[in-house]
């Protein structure tokens, strides 16, 4: 009985350091954000008095304006549009890269080497990788100069930089790797005998891909989707820098409110954003059981 008691306590002791870190750096800050979202502020002073006015300000006259969209709904629509576009592109590119590494490269050593090459961009800052697009996409950038020199255009293209295109391109550049890793990990776990059995049964390459590989990679796709969605939904640096401060997003709205010391309203916006992201994650976990991967 004493040995059984010790064995029952040991797992909790082993999990305690991680649980304390989780509590101190995630749970408590989130609780504080929720608490501050119900405080009031006046003349840049925060007053710990309970009010729901901050949430009313976030959704100021949104319901009464329907079917027209208020500023908050327009901002969320813009953010969700970027999120959907980036998710589709990163999923397509990431799946192709992961498939190539897992099934087309036969040597494990070469697989590891190519996978390491995919991680090389992460050795530099995200900001540096963002800025690297400016000399390429600017009016006097390499792309415009090449197109003009080839006679394809007469004047520089203004929409290449500080636009939705540059923001989406940068997002895909920065976050595709977050899709590659979990999908590649899922594909490595696929039993190759299943593919051989499907091929022996007369299945074509596309049938094997759609009916065998994709279903067995759903867990990795879901995990990669969660990574990409959560990062894009809360991003404000990429949209601000590559969008020329002209594109609205929820993360940028929160950043502006913080810069004006409007912490309670910023906290309310953050709570609404967190709830939105959690709903998206909940929907993904209803489709795919990611516990199989963990």
Cα dist from 67 to 61, 73, 80, 248, 273, whole Å = 12, 11, 18, 20, 22
Strongest mean pLDDT among 274-278, 281-285, 290-294: 274-278
Q: Which is nearest to 179 in space by CA: 131, 247, 227?
A: 227
Strongest mean pLDDT among 145-154, 191-200, 267-276: 267-276
**Cα(208)–Cα(130) distance, integer angstroms:** 38
The pTM (predicted TM-score) of the whole model is 0.86
Report the percent of the chain where pLDDT is more than 70.
93
Cα dist from 189 to 9, 169, 194, 216, whole Å = 33, 31, 11, 9
Q: Which is nearest to 243 in space by CA: 188, 136, 131, 163?
A: 163
pLDDT digits (tens, 9 = 90+) for 31-71: 999 999 999 887 777 888 888 888 888 887 676 666 666 77
Evaluate if residue 3 carries a pLDDT over 60. no
Superfamily (CATH H level) for 69-292: MetI-like (1.10.3720.10)
Evaluate if residue 239 carries a pLDDT over 80. yes
pLDDT range class, residue 260, cuts 50, 70, 90 = confident
The more confident residue out of 69 and 273 is 273
Per the CB < 8 A criterion, the answer to whether 244 and 165 are in contact is no
Sign of CA pseudo-dihedral 138, 140, 144, 145: negative
Q: Which positions ≥6 away from 87 have C-beta within 8 Å?
A: 225, 228, 229, 232
Per the CB < 8 A criterion, the answer to whether 59 and 72 are in contact is yes
Q: What are the extents of the domains in the chain?
A: 69-292
């Amino acid at each position: 009985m004493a040995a059984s008691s010790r064995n029952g306590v040991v797992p909790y002791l082993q999990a305690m350091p991680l649980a304390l870190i989780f509590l101190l750096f995630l749970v408590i800050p989130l609780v504080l954000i929720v608490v501050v979202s119900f405080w009031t502020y006046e003349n840049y002073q925060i007053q710990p008095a309970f009010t729901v006015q901050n949430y009313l300000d976030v959704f100021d006259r949104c319901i009464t304006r329907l079917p027209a969209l208020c500023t908050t709904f327009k901002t969320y629509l813009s953010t969700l549009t970027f999120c959907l576009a980036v998710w589709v592109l990163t999923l397509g590119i990431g799946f192709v890269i992961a498939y190539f590494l897992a099934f087309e490269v036969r040597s494990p050593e070469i697989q590891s080497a190519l996978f390491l090459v995919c991680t090389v961009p992460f050795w530099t800052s995200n900001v540096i990788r963002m800025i690297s697009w400016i000399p390429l996409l600017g009016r006097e950038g390499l792309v415009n100069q090449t197109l003009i020199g080839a006679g394809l255009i007469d004047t520089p293209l203004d929409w290449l930089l500080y636009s939705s295109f540059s923001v989406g391109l940068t997002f895909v550049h920065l976050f595709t790797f977050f899709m590659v890793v979990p999908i590649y990990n899922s594909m490595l776990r696929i039993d190759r005998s299943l593919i051989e059995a499907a091929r022996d049964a007369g299945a074509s390459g596309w049938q094997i891909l759609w009916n065998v590989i994709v279903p067995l990679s759903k867990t990795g796709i879901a995990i990669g989707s969660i990574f990409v969605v959560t990062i894009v939904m809360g991003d404000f640096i990429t949209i601000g820098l590559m969008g020329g401060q002209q594109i609205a997003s929820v993360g940028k709205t929160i950043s502006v409110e913080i810069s004006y010391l409007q912490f309670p309203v910023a906290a309310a916006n953050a709570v609404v954003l967190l709830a939105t992201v959690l709903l998206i994650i909940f929907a993904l976990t209803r489709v795919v059981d990611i516990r199989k991967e963990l």
